[in-house]
């Protein structure tokens, strides 16, 4: 179990560093858009800083495979969301981003919510399931992917409105979070097929499952969508929103899909339900618009004597 905790903390560090490096690279690139995916890929692949960030994210993905083999889904998500604090610190240090007081309170509430979920766990009594019915996985994932793509497209249409207010990126974060939630379930499924014996049979079994194809879809669309959103919005807000949606999606639907039972004890069950409810409530009340920068007041004319 402690190997899983260490891997989750390592994944946190790698993911936070990767997002910050990609954001820093994107700020120096021309504007990218999902309507020109080939141009987007050409621009980001020409940036050494962005490539460094993507390699950090890939290493975080590898660490996540270890996590899902050793920890229950809900416990893993609780540790993953704790990485938001590191992300905010790195964003302030390396990107010069500042969060409002309301947003800092929201991040604190999110961490409290996920702490409640973690406290609802008990070593030895929480099972780590490795299998889920494929029809159930598709029933959960396909509508979620459609909802994420639709929500992202809706946010994009609003950004083309010349009279729009500056957006914080909450809608972008929710949309990408849904895709990454599906990706997280697919990673959990792939981890169940990892084995050191009978590798050929394991590969064939994996290819006959929906997991590699879900990873391919979320990898391609998630890359394009997340980079365009990350360039427009603050990493210190969009990534926490994305992470919260991903974690809640995975903790709730992943737990049900993979058959990892909820706590039997009333206190532990109350902590898990209350933590999930608090995180959702905070997400729904987060500001959707940045304050428009105030224009300097005109200088007063000096009265003639």
pLDDT in the model for residue 213: 94
Residue 305 in this model has a pLDDT that exceeds 50: no
- Angle formed at CA 271 by CA 270 and CA 276, multiple of 5 degrees: 100
Residue 84 in this model has a pLDDT that exceeds 90: no
Structure tokens at 200: 């050929």
Q: How confident is the model at residue 55 (pLDDT cuts 50, 70, 90)?
A: very high
Residue 78 in this model has a pLDDT that exceeds 80: no
Instruction: Select from 140, 127, 131 the least CA-distant residue to 253.
Output: 140
If you ran DSSP here, which 8-state letter would residue 133 be given?
-
Mean pLDDT, rounded, for 257-262: 77
pLDDT in the model for residue 1: 64
pLDDT in the model for residue 183: 92
Classify 305 as helix, strand or coil: coil
pLDDT in the model for residue 70: 79
Residue 211, by phi and psi: left (phi above 0), alpha (psi -120 to 50) or beta? alpha
pLDDT in the model for residue 163: 54
Report which listed range, 8-22, 246-260, 276-290, is most confident: 8-22
pLDDT in the model for residue 182: 94
Q: How confident is the model at residue 53 (pLDDT cuts 50, 70, 90)?
A: very high
Task: Report domain extents, the chain.
Answer: 132-260
Average pLDDT, the chain: 79
Residue 225 in this model has a pLDDT that exceeds 60: yes
Residue 50, by phi and psi: left (phi above 0), alpha (psi -120 to 50) or beta? alpha
Report which listed range, 88-92, 104-108, 218-222, 261-265, is most confident: 218-222
pLDDT in the model for residue 101: 74
pLDDT in the model for residue 217: 92
Structure tokens at 140: 């959960």
Tens digit of each residue's pLDDT (9 = 90 or more) over 189-220 = 888 777 656 677 778 888 889 999 999 999 88
Tens digit of each residue's pLDDT (9 = 90 or more) over 106-150 = 778 877 876 787 777 666 555 666 678 889 999 999 999 999 999
Find how far residue 132's CA is from the centre of its chain. 22
Tens digit of each residue's pLDDT (9 = 90 or more) over 142-198 = 999 999 999 998 888 877 665 555 555 788 889 999 999 999 999 888 887 776 566
Across the chain, which distance is largest between two alpha carbons, in Å? 96
pTM above 0.85, yes or no: no
Tens digit of each residue's pLDDT (9 = 90 or more) over 264-298 = 788 888 887 887 778 777 766 665 545 544 343 44
């Amino acid at each position: 179990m402690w190997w899983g905790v260490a891997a989750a903390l390592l994944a946190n560090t790698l993911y936070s560093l990767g997002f910050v490096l990609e954001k820093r690279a994107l700020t120096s690139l021309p504007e990218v858009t999902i309507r020109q995916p080939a141009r987007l890929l050409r621009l980001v692949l020409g940036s050494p800083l962005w490539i460094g960030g993507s390699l950090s994210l890939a290493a975080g993905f590898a660490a996540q495979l270890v996590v899902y083999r050793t920890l229950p889904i809900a416990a893993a998500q609780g540790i993953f969301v704790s990485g938001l604090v590191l992300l905010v610190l790195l964003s302030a240090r390396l990107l010069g981003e500042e969060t409002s007081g309301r947003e800092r309170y929201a991040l604190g509430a999110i961490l409290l919510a996920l702490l409640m979920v973690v406290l609802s766990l008990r070593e030895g009594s929480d099972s780590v399931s490795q299998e889920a019915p494929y029809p159930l996985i598709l029933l959960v994932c396909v509508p979620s992917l459609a909802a994420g793509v639709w929500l992202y497209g809706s946010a994009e249409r609003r950004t083309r409105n010349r009279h729009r207010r500056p957006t914080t990126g909450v809608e972008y974060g929710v949309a990408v979070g849904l895709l990454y939630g599906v990706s997280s379930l697919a990673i959990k499924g792939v981890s169940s097929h990892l084995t050191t014996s009978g590798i050929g049979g394991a590969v064939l079994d994996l290819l006959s499952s929906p997991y590699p194809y879900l990873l391919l879809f979320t990898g391609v669309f998630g890359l394009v969508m997340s980079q365009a959103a990350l360039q427009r919005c603050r990493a210190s807000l969009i990534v926490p929103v994305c992470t919260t949606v991903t974690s809640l999606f995975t903790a709730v639907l992943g737990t049900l899909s993979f058959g990892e039972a909820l706590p039997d004890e009333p206190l532990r069950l109350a902590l898990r339900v209350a933590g999930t409810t608090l995180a959702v409530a905070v997400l729904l009340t987060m500001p959707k618009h940045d304050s428009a920068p105030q224009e300097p007041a005109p200088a007063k004319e000096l009265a003639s004597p």
